[in-house]
Structure 1
Amino acid sequence: MKSRIQNASFISKLMPASEAAALIQPGMTVGMSGFTGSGYPKAVPLELARLIEDAHARGERFVIRVLTGASTAPELDGALAKVGGIDFRLPYQSDPELRARINRGEIEYMDIHLGQVAQYAWFGFLGNIDMAVIEVAGILPDGRLIPSTSVGNNKTWLDLASQVILEVNSNQPAGLDGMHDIYYGTALPPERKPIPLVAPGDRIGDPYLRVDPAKVLAVVETDAPDRLGRFAAPDEISARIAGHLVEFFRHEIAHGRLRPELLPLQSGVGNIANAVLSGLRDGGFEGLSAFTEVIQDGMLDLIRTDTLRVASATALSLSPEGVDEFQRNIDHYRSRIVLRPQEISNHAELVRRLGCLAINGMVEADIYGNVNSTHVAGTSIINGIGGSGDFARNGFLSCFVTPSIAKNGAISCIVPLASHVDHTEHDVTVIVTEQGLADLRGLSPKQRARAIIARCAHPNYRPLLEDYFERACRESVGKHTPHLLDEALSWHRRFVESGRMR
């Protein structure tokens, strides 16, 4: 660890994770590192969970407010949720224990666009940040910090927190040094200036994070890998969705609306996103770029094969096999990957300036193109909106993808009315299922409905949607966006009552 901690002042603050965790007091607001399962603190949250459990056993109340970049891992979100240690959480989560407690009303949860979290903190909307717990890959002699496998909101937490705990993880590859670009030029209104980034690979900041040494109370040594999931190979449905989207891009190139190298790609996490990326590689696309949130296996493969010349993101989200490939060829990837704070990776102005092609998953879409990305039956949160809204509203194209049915056909992902709306019809340009692709640009609500039903709905549900739409056109009070208000959410009510929408 001496090679990882090169500053004498920080070496003097080394202590066990248990002692560092004891510095976190009940009621604190704690900003923690971590984004989609990478770069989160591995030791202090576990020790904090033990302290909280002991306090509760003594009848003492001990909860904290937890702010992160996005989802973390069981050692953080899961451990603290299990012992009842989280009072409030934002902005994105994926831990089953945490999700269950949120949906039981035991934890207050704020779902927010990832690109807005840092500015909310700087505006004072989230209150004071008492402590930051941040994983880094190393500390330089001058006290600057080598970021880990995610940047997320770490810059903001380090700047705003009153006190700081650092975890230095020797398991993170030393080759991360130089892969990051931390921009310190943001300001509060009305002092803001344009961010000088005009291409995904531009470097506009420093490779390192900064922290006031006086705020650092503890440095903890760790040697633990990120806990990342293994993605399944693309199945037939994912491949068909990818095929429709790749064919659409070819159509746009043929009509002069896209260049052969496309525009910068933004891709959400998951098997469908990986399938789309594989489809681009297999389709012979070259010279691509990405301006996105996370780099997962599919994008890593495009970089490895030189299909993707540069990728900008805020975090890695790789399978164990992807981690092995990344570490074996880290010098190559360091020349192609730029990891930034999420206030830059998800910045609305930059997304619009670069003209990103946004590809994100969804829970359901209604016949008019409103998209639900976050809730089951309108009431139970799944993970959160993440960064999909940052890209959907501001991208050159906003594509949402999903299988047409779920749970072996018990659920239709195309419904009369979305039970919860994260992305309105005004921000959605393309909807894709394995059945087909609906291009919604330039269409009125009724034209959109006909396109979505005909091209995206599953055959088992298409006649029901056609019947609903035809009767709504005849019987609805208003004819611009026809609905039967007594029936619009009946599919969801039937699902809640019987487990099936039909």
Structure 2
Amino acid sequence: MQSLHFDADTLSSKTMSAEAAAALIPAGTHVGMSGFTGAGYPKLVPQALADRIKKLHAAGEDFRIGLWTGASTASELDGVLAEADGISMRLPYQSDPTVRKQINAGQMQYTDIHLSHVAQLAWFGFLGKLDVAVVEVAGVLPDGRLIPSTSIGNNKTWLQLADKIILEVNSLQNPGLEGMHDIYYGTRIPPQRQPIPLLHAGDRIGQPYLEVDWSKVVAVVKTHQPDRNSAFAAPDENSQRIANHIIEFLSQEVALGHLPKELLPLQSGVGNIANAVLSGLNAGPFENMTSYTEVLQDGMLEMLKSGKLSMASATALSFSPDALKEFNDNIDFYSKRIVLRPQEMSNHPELVRRLGVIAMNAMIEADIYGNVNSTHIMGTSVMNGIGGSGDFARNAYLSFFMTPSTAKDGSISCIVPMVSHVDHTEHDVEIIVTEQGLADLRGLSPTQRARLVIEKCAHPDFRPALRDYFERALASKGGKHTPHLLTEALSWHSRFVETGSMLETQDQPEARRA
């Protein structure tokens, strides 16, 4: 299918500098930019826009935009716009320190959204009008179709809905990316929706290219800039222990007949624990595994290279510098084994449920009943956002949440009486894992879950206090189904805010019981 309103002269007639393109973005608009976990984001236009905003602010003019993306981007986008005080509203996910600081200071509004929901909310009109799209692509075909970059995210939706489109054509992206993408144009708004015809992780149900109406394209900017690539830290001892617990559990599930010997499609969050689990799986007993996830990072690339993983589906490539070199040097090999999809497909609950995905995601804290907080520090300060963890957790065949048992050099317990913020309720959390052990919560009542989480997952320094809290709550006049002491349920967090530690001093237990 050819993109609309494109001929041989269109590309050259719309090509301009980043500064000229940035001048076409009005104040107060909603701007959808590409980018997902530091991959495939525009590099030059956001920086030119930030420079323009600084000059306007210095002249006494107010200029801010609402910024929509696929997920987190990089300092060249989120960072520079935040430093220019140019973002009024951010969605759906972020990880930039300046953005985080402004959100928690109340200087920037932030809407944290399940990543699979963003495109449909935009199509429903619930987010307001999308005025401008700024999208990085790897190239433009002679018929006007676009070769996607290292992430797809919400790009299909941004290009379809935006009134104005600015394209950054990045010549540094590997030409071998062409053909690796699968863009599905069959989604509809209710009541016209139909089942998505994807039955296996590696299925292709769309086309390799993005379509665009060139009458809406107001600027094309040529770039030659790399994605943000950060090296991952080597897995520490705690991460390795968490990985070992999960691999042992999966082996038991295979032995019980709950899983096939090649497992089911894997979904893994981003970070050192996730990479430790993937490294463990790469050295483990399972063969011919597949992946249906949102971000492909170093661990899965190693599994593809070794042959342990036969196929990986994602919406973005987020590699360290060494892994990126491996990918680029052997892209012909990897292009046959990787499919990149829009995030409305990579995270779609219908597909996660159908494929029977094994979901493994990080958390900040869990409480003794299995509720999980994956976004907020001490209940009030947002860290990054829920990302895709909720898309997978509720719909997965198995849903793991992982964390070290303590944080801040042991002053914080990541297993608490009651979480200070709930992202995933006890109904969506099946398995909690720390370096201390693994708690399989499937089919258990709240009191059964509490005892198991305390004994298996809590750090020994906090385990006695958790036992004490639970037994006193159980013996109190309140209900016995999910027993809590409401005057103490969040006291651990209050203690940390006041003293810098959740650990009790010698006189605190007596004062508490007085």
| TM-score of the two chains, using structure 2 as the length reference | 0.96
Separation in 2 of the partners of 1:22 and 1:54? 12
Residues 1:453 and 2:465 are matched in the alignment: no
| Cα displacement (A) at 1:157 | 0.2
Q: Secondary structure at the match of 1:338?
A: strand
Q: Is the 8 A contact 1:89 1:107 kept in 2?
A: yes
The 5 Å alignment of 1:43-442 reads 43-442=44-443
Cα distance in 1 between the residues matched to 2:200 and 2:53: 46
Residue 12 of structure 1 and its aligned partner are, at CA, apart by: 1.7
C-alpha displacement of 1:229: 1.7
> Does the 8 Å contact 1:6/1:139 carry over to 2?
no
Does the residue aligned with 1:409 lie in a helix, a strand or coil?
coil
Q: Whole-Å Cα distance in 2 between the matches of residues 240 and 137 of structure 1?
A: 40
**1:490 matched to which residue of 2?**
491
Amino acid at match of 2:318: S
**Residue identity matched to 1:80:** L
Which SS does the other structure have where 2:215 is aligned?
Answer: helix
Residues 464-499 of structure 1: per-residue CA shift (max 9 Å, x gap) = 100000000001511100000000000000111111
| SS of match in other structure, 1:252 | helix
Q: CA deviation at 1:152?
A: 0.1
**Number of residues of Structure 1 aligned to a counterpart in Structure 2:** 498
Aligned-residue offset at 1:11: 2.1
Q: Which amino acid aligns with 2:194?
A: K
Q: Distance in 1 between matches of 2:402 and 2:260?
A: 22
Write the letter of the residue equivalent to 1:305: S
Which residue identity is paired with 1:284?
P
Letter in 2 for 1:489: L
Deviation at 1:8, TM superposition (A): 3.2
SS of the aligned residue for 1:120 comes to: helix
Secondary structure of the equivalent of 2:36?
coil
| CA distance, structure 1, for counterparts of residue 8 and residue 287 of structure 2 | 44
Q: Report the CA distance shift for 1:416/1:174 in structure 2 as closer, same or farther (over 3 A).
A: same
SS of the aligned residue for 2:384 comes to coil
Supply the distance in 1 between the matched residues of 2:269 and 2:377 (Cα, whole angstroms). Answer: 19
Task: Give the corresponding residue for 2:508.
Answer: none
State the 1:7 CA deviation. 4.8
Q: Which digits, 9 at most, give the CA deviation of each residue in 1:14-45, with x for residues without a partner?
A: 10000000000100100000000000000000
1:6 Cα deviation after fit: 9.7
- Taking the aligned partners of 2:147 and 2:367, their CA distance within structure 1 comes to 45
SS, match of residue 431 in structure 1: strand
Deviation at 1:105, TM superposition (A): 0.3
Is the contact between residue 7 and residue 140 of structure 1 (CA under 8 Å) also seen in structure 2? no
Offset at 1:370?
0.1
Cα displacement string for residues 33-60 of structure 1 (whole angstroms, at most 9, x for unaligned residues): 0000000000000000011001110111
CA contact (8 A) 1:476 1:483 kept: no
RMSD: 0.9
For 1:59-118, what per-residue CA distance to the aligned partner results, in whole angstroms no more than 9, with x for missing partners?
Answer: 111000000000000010000001110000100000000000000000000000000000
Letter of the 1:457 counterpart: A
Cα distance 1:181–1:493, how it changes in 2: closer, same or farther (>3 A)?
same
2:239, 2:410 → 1: CA distance? 16
CA distance in 1, matches of 2:169, 2:468: 60
The C-alpha deviation readout for 1:148-198, integer Å capped at 9, x for no partner, is 000000000000000100000011101000000000000000000100000
Query: Secondary structure of the equivalent of 1:304?
Result: helix
CA distance in 1, matches of 2:103, 2:33: 19
1:3-14 matches, within 5 Å, as 7-14=8-15
The AA in structure 1 aligned to 2:191 is: P
Asked if 2 retains the 8 angstrom alpha-carbon contact of 1:445 and 1:480, the reply is: yes
Aligned to 1:42: 43
How far apart in 2 are the matches of 1:200 and 1:190? 27
Could you say if the C-alpha distance between residues 69 and 169 of structure 1 is closer, same or farther in structure 2, counting changes exceeding 3 Å? same
Q: Return the alpha-carbon distance in structure 1 between the equivalents of residues 230 and 407 of structure 2.
A: 21
Q: Which stretches of structure 1, 4 residues or longer, exceed 4 Å deviation after superposition? A: none
- Alignment partners' CA distance in 2, 1:396 and 1:116: 20
Q: Which amino acid aligns with 1:232?
A: A
Q: Which residue type is aligned with residue 175 of structure 1?
A: G
Give the SS at the match of 1:99. Answer: helix
**How far, CA to CA, are the matches of 1:139 and 1:283 in structure 2?**
42
Query: Residue type of the partner of 2:177?
Result: L
Measure the CA separation in 2 of the matches of 1:317 and 1:76.
16
Kindly tell me: are residues 7 and 304 of structure 1, through their superposed partners in 2, closer, same or farther at Cα, counting changes over 3 Å?
Answer: farther
Relative to structure 1, the CA distance from residue 6 to residue 405 in structure 2 (aligned partners, 3 Å threshold; closer, same or farther) is farther
**Residues 476/428 of structure 1: CA separation in 2 closer, same or farther (3 Å cut):** farther
C-alpha distance in 2 between matches for 1:72 and 1:322? 19
Counterpart CA distance in 1 for 2:302 and 2:314 is 15
Q: Secondary structure at the match of 2:427?
A: helix
**Residues 42 and 222 in structure 1, CA contact (< 8 A), matched pair in contact too:** yes
Cα displacement (A) at 1:283: 1.1
- In the alignment, residue 184 of structure 1 is paired with which amino acid? Y
Letter in 1 for 2:67: V
Q: Specify the code of the residue in structure 2 equivalent to 1:12.
A: S
Provide the rounded CA distance (Å) in 1 between the counterparts of 2:395 and 2:200.
16
Aligned-partner Cα distance in 2 for 1:212–1:238: 47
TM-fit CA distance, 1:230: 1.1
Cα shift at 1:284:
2.5
Distance 2:40 2:22 in 1: 18
User: How many Å separate the matches in 2 of 1:328 and 1:456?
Assistant: 42
Contact 1:6 1:140 in 2 (8 A): no
Q: Which amino acid aligns with 2:86?
A: G
Q: CA deviation at 1:235?
A: 1.1
TM-score of the pair, normalised by structure 1: 0.98
Q: 1:482 aligns to what SS in structure 2?
A: coil
Q: Distance in 2 between matches of 1:173 and 1:143?
A: 19
In 2, Cα distance between equivalents of 1:328 and 1:12: 35
**Contact 1:346-1:387 within 8 A present in 2 as well:** yes
Q: Which residue of 1 aligns with 2:445?
A: 444
Equivalent-residue separation in structure 1 for 2:13 and 2:310 (angstroms)? 43
**Which SS does the other structure have where 1:138 is aligned?**
strand
Which region of structure 1 is more displaced relative to structure 2, 175-184 or 10-19? Answer: 10-19
Structure 2: distance between partners of 1:230 and 1:468: 41
Q: Secondary structure at the match of 2:319?
A: coil
CA deviation map 1:326-364 (0-9, x unaligned): 000001110000000000000000000000000000000
Shift of 1:228: 2.1
Provide the secondary structure at the position in 2 that maps to 1:116.
helix
What are the Cα deviations for residues 284-310 of structure 1, in whole angstroms up to 9, with x where unaligned?
Answer: 211000000000000000001111000
Gaps of 5+ in 2: 1-5, 504-514
State the distance in 2 between where 1:392 and 1:99 align: 25
**Cα deviation code 1:401-420 (max 9, x no counterpart):** 00000111010000000000
